[in-house]
Structures are given as C-alpha cells and as structure tokens.
Structure 1
Amino acid sequence: MTRVLLIVCSVLLLTACEDKKSSLEKAPATTTEVTEKNESADTIEKKEVKKEKKKSRPKGPLLVQEELIPYLTEYGKENPEDKIRIITRFGNIEVELFHDTPLHRANFILLVKNDYFDETFFHRVADGFVIQGGNSDNPSTNKKRHYIGDYLIPSEFDAGHKHVRGAFSAAKYAEQNVSKASSPFEFFIVQSETGAHHLNNEHTVFGRVIDGMDVVDEISKVEVDEGEWPLRNIYLDVEIIE
C-alpha cells in the first residue's frame, strides 16, 4: 500500500520540470528496496537515536497554509543559518542557502531541524540534467510530512537566481499550480555543465553548491530504472554547518 501511495503522489509532484530527454511528471515505475548492508555501527546507532526523538513528536501538522508566511518569516529571523551539508555514501555536498529567498531558506532549515531528511533518498537521477532528493518509499517519510504539514511555498523568483550548474532549487507540483509555488519537501541540484535555464521562473532557486559538485557528478552516474529512480537507494541526511 505504501508503494502504491508513493507512486500516486509522485505522479502529482513535478520533480524538476521538463527535460528534453524525459518528463519529470512520470513517476518511477519500480523501485528496488536495497538497504545499506555496509552501514557502520555508528550510522545504525544514529538512526536509532533519531527514531527515539520522533516518538515524542505531536501528530501535527506543524504548519498550515494560512499561517505559512508569517510563521516562516519569524522562523527565518530566529534561525539565520544558511549553510548545510548533505551526507551520502558518495561523499558530502555543501550548500549555501540564499537569504533573498527567505521563505525557502527558512523552510529548509525547519525541515533539517525536524529531522525530515533522515531516511530519504536522492530518488531521481537524470544524468546530464539534475539529481533530486527529499522523498523515499519509507513509511516514515509520509509520517513526517503529515507532522510538518500540507502546504506550498510561494515562489521567490524576484531574487533572480538562475538554474546554472550547482543551483539548488525547489521541486513543485504539476497540477493546478498556476502560481508555480514550491513543494516544501523536495529539492534538486542542477548537474548539467550548461545549466538548465528552461527552468528559470518555473522553479525557485534558493541556494548553490559551494563544495561537492564532484559528488553530484558521481551520483549522476548511478544505474537507474526507466523512471530515473536509482536501482540502489541513495540515502541522504542533512545537517546544518552554520
């Protein structure tokens, strides 16, 4: 049932707009449940500790659309961090989040501080285009989304950031989204050497990779299925640097 729900949700979620080679509106047809057999004891222990933290959470939602802008505006003032580290088995990717996209920056910091990205994947890899993260077929991901809330982030195109190589951008829903508002949970990194400028003013760029593009390039080479879902799950975690 979880996998069926994920596929239905994936059809609604535009993972990064139209690539000329493939459409992001199509959901991955199949996924391969592969656990990290070579995980260290420290990694397993870390996950167990975070599971204990999750048990104490209220049922949510933490955020509702009607209160989103004032909440994220205040949250951004109280949480000014703007550098994060994405941890994968391929290495780390460090990202600077832009202060002139304040709602997107505050939302991402909120997700990190609520451990949203634990047990999520880079679930879409389109070599020569983008890699996308922030989703999974684990039941825990849906539970965390329910806890955080069902909302959309208004686009912040006025900042003028473009989809150059290394751009850190927000996914969006494909259906009934005239305002081009962002999904709060999924992001993508532009891997193309020439950028992905057809996405400008379609998705909000709210950060840039400042270290680890070699890791992005390495991830882009993994084997994927017909839906561009990696055959071996690429787990990620995110931590705040400063």
Structure 2
Amino acid sequence: MKVKHLTTSFRSIALGLSLLLAVGCNKQQEQQAETTPEAPEEPTLEPLTSENAVEKLTAFGKENPDTIAIISTRHGDIKVRLYKDTPLHRANFVRLAKAGFYDQGEFYRVVKDFAIQGGDSDNRTMKQGAYKIPQEFNRKYIHKKGALAQARYGDERNPDKESSSHNFYIVQGNPVPLEQLRSWEATHGIKYTPEEIRIYTTIGGEPSLDTEYTVFGEVIEGLDVVDKIADEPVDGSKWPKNIVTHKIKVQ
C-alpha cells in the first residue's frame, strides 16, 4: 500500500545458482547429481512494540555508538551524521540499518523542493513490529536543507507527535523569504537565531516542519544526490515512476 504523507506503511529476489559437476574415470564418466546451494537465510529482526521500544533502543544504543550512515542509491551515495542527543532515533536507525531492514527499502515518496521520503517498500519481507518512537525535539536542530528526520502518524491519532518506527525523510526545500520565516516563528512559538535565519533564507529548508517532526541527523556529503532523487518523475501519489531503492550502512 502506498503512503501519501510523512507517515508509515508500504513496497528480494533470491537467485539460486545450480552447479553440475562431471568427474571422469578410466573408461566411463560418472556424473554427479545436480546440486543447488541453499539460499541465504532471510535476515532476522526482533519485532518491537511501543511498550518495549524505549528500553530496547536505549540498550542497543549504548552498545552501538555509530553516528555515520551511508545511504547508497543508483544516483550515488548520501552520507549523513546521526545526532547523539536524539539517542532513541539514532539507535533505531542504526538498528534497522545493521539488520538489513533498510536494504529492502526505497525512496517511495518524492516531493520536489520539499523532501524525499524513504525507509519502506511494497516489496519488503522483513518485519520490524508495530511501535512508535517518543519525539526527541531539540531546538538546536531545524529542517534546513539536508536535515534527516523521522516521519510520523497524523495529529488526530498521535497528539504526542511520536515518530514512525522506520520511515524517514531528507529535506530538500528552497530558500525561505524572511517574512515567511517570521510567520513560522509565530506559528510554532519559536525564535530563530541569526545563523538559522541565514541558513533558511540562503541555503533553504522547510521551517513548516519545525517542532512537528524529530530531526535526528543531517547530510554531510551528497546533497546533489538528494537533488537528483527529487528530480525523479513521479506518479499521482508522488511515488517515483522508476524505483529508487536504497541500501544503508552505518559506522
């Protein structure tokens, strides 16, 4: 089922190779039976629930301090830094990446000049469980171009703005006029610093998402790849017409 918002839900073919060996003897040949190597086992991932997610992610985060992730696509690699002070979101992203969960995903929603959203696929076989992550809003982190953030369910079902278990997005955005930025300050009850104003008005981003979704990282290399993905032709549901799969490795 396709996803139409910054929300949850969604899209491996194992190829077996057979090997036929023949062994020669003096006056005759004995042909071995055809053998087919066993297909590699499907990676496993312990499903989490909203009741145990915080405990499990906290423990995992302490044992896995990774803060760099490489998102590989057919357009190239996007290198992101994961913030240590959004520990649950960092641990969750690292956990899913190390389990191979994200290697079954794709950028399934692309809105040019806004964001590219990934993490899921209609073709996924691995299950992660039904859980949400408590929001970890941090005033230091804004939705500037290249911000990595977590999608979530809508307000009517999620008044605490808890994050999705696996769907993430990377902001593309555009430069924002100062008067529009002032309007978002009033809407969200925040005051942007001079540096944040400079970033939004020159580099760009999407201030409408501030205080609404948890930003837990940022692109440090590969913003051009984000732009290339954002340029992909899409259908009426903003799903790229040519699949943009991703594989994610952390370090």
Query: Does TM-score exceed 0.5, indicating one fold?
Result: yes
Cα deviation, 1:133-154, whole Å, max 9, x if unaligned, reads 111111xx2x422xx2110000
Residue 53 (structure 1) aligns with: 41
Q: TM-score, normalised by structure 2?
A: 0.73
Residue 219 (structure 1) aligns with: 229
Q: Contact 1:135–1:185 (CA<8 Å) still a contact in 2?
A: yes
Q: Larger Rg: 1 or 2? A: 2
Superposed, 1:7-86 pairs within 5 Å as 7=2, 10=3, 14-15=5-6, 52-54=40-42, 57=44, 61-86=46-71
What CA distance in whole angstroms lies between the structure 2 residues aligned with 1:210 and 1:158?
Answer: 19
Residue 161 (structure 1) aligns with: 141
**CA RMSD across the alignment:** 2.6
Cα deviation, 1:104-148, whole Å, max 9, x if unaligned, reads 00000000111001231111111111011111111xx2x422xx2
Superposed, 1:82-97 pairs within 5 Å as 82-97=67-82
What CA distance in whole angstroms lies between the structure 1 residues aligned with 2:241 and 2:247?
Answer: 19
Residue 173 (structure 1) aligns with: 153
Q: Which runs of 5+ in 1 are unaligned?
A: 1-5, 17-24, 36-43
Residue 218 (structure 2) aligns with: 208
- Offset of residue 202 of structure 1: 0.7
Residue 40 (structure 1) aligns with: none
Q: Secondary structure at the match of 2:59?
A: helix
Label 1:199 to 1:77 Cα distance change in 2 as closer, same or farther (>3 A).
same
What CA distance in whole angstroms lies between the structure 2 residues aligned with 1:137 and 1:62?
Answer: 18
Aligned residue identity for 2:126: K
Residue 165 (structure 2) aligns with: 184
Q: Secondary structure at the match of 2:220?
A: strand
Q: Secondary structure at the match of 2:102?
A: coil
Alignment of 1:129 onto 2:114: yes
Q: Which runs of 5+ in 2 are unaligned?
A: 17-36, 175-203
- Whose helix fraction is larger, Structure 1's or Structure 2's? 1
Label 1:144 to 1:159 Cα distance change in 2 as closer, same or farther (>3 A).
farther
Spell out structure 1 runs of 4+ moving beyond 6 A: none
Residue 99 (structure 2) aligns with: 114
